[in-house]
Amino acid sequence: MKKIRVLIADDHAVLRAGVKMLLNAQTDMEVIGEASNGDEAISKALELKPDVLLLDISMPGPSGIEVIRKLKAEGLPVAILVLTMHEDEAYFRETLSAGALGYIPKKAADTELISAIRVVDSGQVFLYPSLTKSLVRELIYSGSLDKEVDSDSYAKLSRREREVLQLVAQGYTNQQMADRLFLSVKTIETYKTRVMEKLDLHSRVELVRYALQRGLLTNEEAEGQVEGKHKS
């Protein structure tokens, strides 16, 4: 089995050690290096060429955003996942604009971090549910929901896949969905992948847009995400 090669860049040694232990325990992942500051993150990424760079925003030296821009300017084909304490819309948008494929808070469950790494390694965008609120707000108020959806594509989904689609759109995390449906997180990931492939969608935001257009999610439910009203 091909393993996802991960470089961890964070200035907290204890966090790096914990994340390294978690990732190396996965059958499809291995940590190939660590960096404790921005300059080291750039040099090690260029040297080791990881599949995924797990990157903190706030480190000594160049910031995480500067690191992203530098590596993208160098043309390094690495999927960058930002792991941060900041749940701020400005940071969130700036990192994605700079070229990161995902943004996840450090408080997230271990299962969510594992899922996020797999998602960005596959070339898709990972957005932690609580951080999609500003994008969901745009979907509701920008008029981007006027486009009709392909009704035939929905018919391709199984009953379970439709359940997963609705829960994703409502803002549930993988762990919360697994608990609710009495399934493993791995199984939830598989269902999400199937749904996105069948509907030709590529991110949680696109799933939310589809659910709204399809009538699976009301504006009130979506606005509940915006206002942080969803409860686990």
Residue 84 φ/ψ, nearest 5 degrees: -145, 160
Range in 44-53, 132-141, 169-178 the model is least confident about: 132-141
Judge residue 60's burial from the number of C-beta atoms within 10 Å of its C-beta, 0-12 exposed, 13-18 middle, 19 or more buried. exposed
Question: What CATH architecture is 4-127?
Answer: 3-Layer(aba) Sandwich (3.40)
Domains 4-127 and 134-226 share a fold: yes
Task: Give the predicted TM-score (pTM) of the model.
Answer: 0.67
Residue-wise pLDDT for 193-229, tens only, equals 888 888 888 766 677 778 777 777 655 555 554 444 4
Residue 94 has a pLDDT of 82
Look over the chain and give the mean of its residue pLDDT values, rounded to a whole number: 81
Rounded to whole angstroms, the Cα distance separating 31 from 3 reads: 10
Residue-wise pLDDT for 147-164, tens only, equals 555 556 888 889 999 888
Residue 29 φ/ψ, nearest 5 degrees: -140, 150
Residue-wise pLDDT for 31-90, tens only, equals 999 999 999 999 999 999 999 999 998 889 998 999 999 998 898 889 999 988 876 667
If we measure between CA atoms, which residue out of 208, 124, 184, 191 comes closest to residue 157?
191
**Domain spanning 134-226: CATH superfamily:** Response regulator (3.40.50.2300)
Rounded to whole angstroms, the Cα distance separating 199 from 131 reads: 23
| SS3 of residue 222 by DSSP | helix
Q: Where are the domains of the chain?
A: 4-127, 134-226
Residue 145 has a pLDDT of 45
Judge residue 145's burial from the number of C-beta atoms within 10 Å of its C-beta, 0-12 exposed, 13-18 middle, 19 or more buried. middle
